[in-house]
């Protein structure tokens, strides 16, 4: 993963090692169809984008379809087993990037770590009020489930949905300020950690 905040599209290899022609994608040469694992290229670079929270969903989708088509194992019929394996590996890589870039929470998480923030394992901080609130809500959910109280479950679903919405708005606001300063990155980390608590509650419902 790129660690330099100023790297934008940086590391697309200039030339294909097989045919020596210039490459538009770090994943494959459009001229001779050589594939590259591009393991050290960020999800953003893979999609030819500058690292940013605000992305055009349609651009992401179209780029994904183009990439997926270009590297699909079917495009390499009768290829050596090695090429087949590489094609599968590169496809999995593109799928992972697509999933991350399309999901606002995963995208913020990825961007935060890429731009110097801590991971969820490194910084588990969750605001005390979020902890007490989720604890209370969890009890209410369990009670409502135990007594099959559909009305309460509906109300809880709406309440937790709203909390997710509000937290995501906070995530977006902070993620747009990245790389920001350490205070900003820690605040985003705490929001993303809180989001996991709320998402877990939503799964219970
Ligand atoms: Zn080539």
Domain-located, residue 121: no
CA of 64 to the centre of ligand 1 (A): 21
Give the residue from 184, 185, 190 showing the smallest Cα distance to 114.
185
Residues 6+ apart with CB under 8 A from 150: none
Domain CATH number, residue 96: 1.10.287.110
pLDDT, tens digit (0-9, with 9 covering 90-100), for 53-76: 999 999 999 999 999 998 887 777
pLDDT at 6 over 90: no
Q: How many CB atoms lie within 10 A of CB 37?
A: 12
pLDDT, tens digit (0-9, with 9 covering 90-100), for 91-104: 999 999 999 999 99
What is d(CA 194, CA 5) in angstroms, rounded to the nearest whole number?
A: 25
Cα of first residue to Cα of last residue in the chain, in angstroms, is 36
Bigger pLDDT: 167 vs 3: 167
Query: Total structural domains in the chain?
Result: 2
pLDDT of residue 1: 40
Report helix angle 150-175 to 182-204, nearest 10. Answer: 160
Residues 6+ apart with CB under 8 A from 197: 126, 130, 131, 134
Domain-located, residue 50: yes
Domain-located, residue 194: yes
pLDDT of residue 38: 86
CA of 39 to the centre of ligand 1 (A): 18
pLDDT-wise least confident of 24-28, 50-54, 196-200? 24-28
Do 145 and 71 lie in one domain? The reply is no
pLDDT of residue 205: 92
Helix, strand or coil for residue 80?
A: coil
Do 41 and 134 lie in one domain? The reply is no
What is d(CA 15, CA 29) in angstroms, rounded to the nearest whole number?
A: 9
- Spell out which residues have Cβ within 5 A of ligand 1, the ion: 16, 18-19, 29, 31-32, 34
pTM of the model: 0.86
Mean pLDDT of 105-111: 97
Its domain, for residue 34, covers 1-102
Banded model confidence at residue 13, pLDDT cuts 50, 70, 90? low
Tokens of 30: 């459009």
Domain-located, residue 95: yes
Domain-located, residue 123: no
CA of 123 to the centre of ligand 1 (A): 43
What is d(CA 119, CA 197) in angstroms, rounded to the nearest whole number?
A: 16
Do 29 and 82 lie in one domain? The reply is yes
Tokens of 158: 């709406």
Do 145 and 62 lie in one domain? The reply is no
pLDDT at 11 over 80: no
């Amino acid at each position: 993963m790129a660690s330099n905040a100023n790297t934008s599209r940086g590391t697309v290899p200039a030339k294909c090692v097989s045919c020596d022609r210039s490459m538009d994608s770090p994943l494959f040469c459009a001229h001779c169809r050589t594939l590259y694992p591009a393991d050290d290229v960020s999800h953003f670079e893979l999609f030819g984008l500058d690292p940013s929270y605000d992305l055009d969903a349609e651009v992401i989708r179209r780029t994904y379809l183009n990439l997926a088509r270009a590297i699909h194992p079917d495009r390499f019929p009768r290829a050596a087993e090695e090429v087949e394996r590489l094609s599968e590996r590169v496809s999995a890589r593109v799928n992972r990037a697509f999933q991350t870039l399309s999901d606002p929470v995963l995208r913020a998480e990825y961007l935060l770590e890429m731009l110097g923030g801590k991971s969820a394992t490194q910084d588990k901080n969750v605001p005390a009020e979020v902890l007490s609130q989720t604890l209370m809500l969890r009890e209410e959910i369990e009670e409502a489930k135990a007594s099959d109280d559909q009305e309460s479950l509906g109300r809880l679903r709406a309440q937790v949905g709203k909390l997710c919405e509000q937290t995501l708005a906070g995530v977006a606001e902070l993620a747009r300020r990245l790389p920001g300063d350490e205070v900003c990155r820690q605040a985003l980390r705490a929001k993303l950690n809180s989001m996991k608590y709320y998402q877990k509650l939503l799964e219970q419902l």
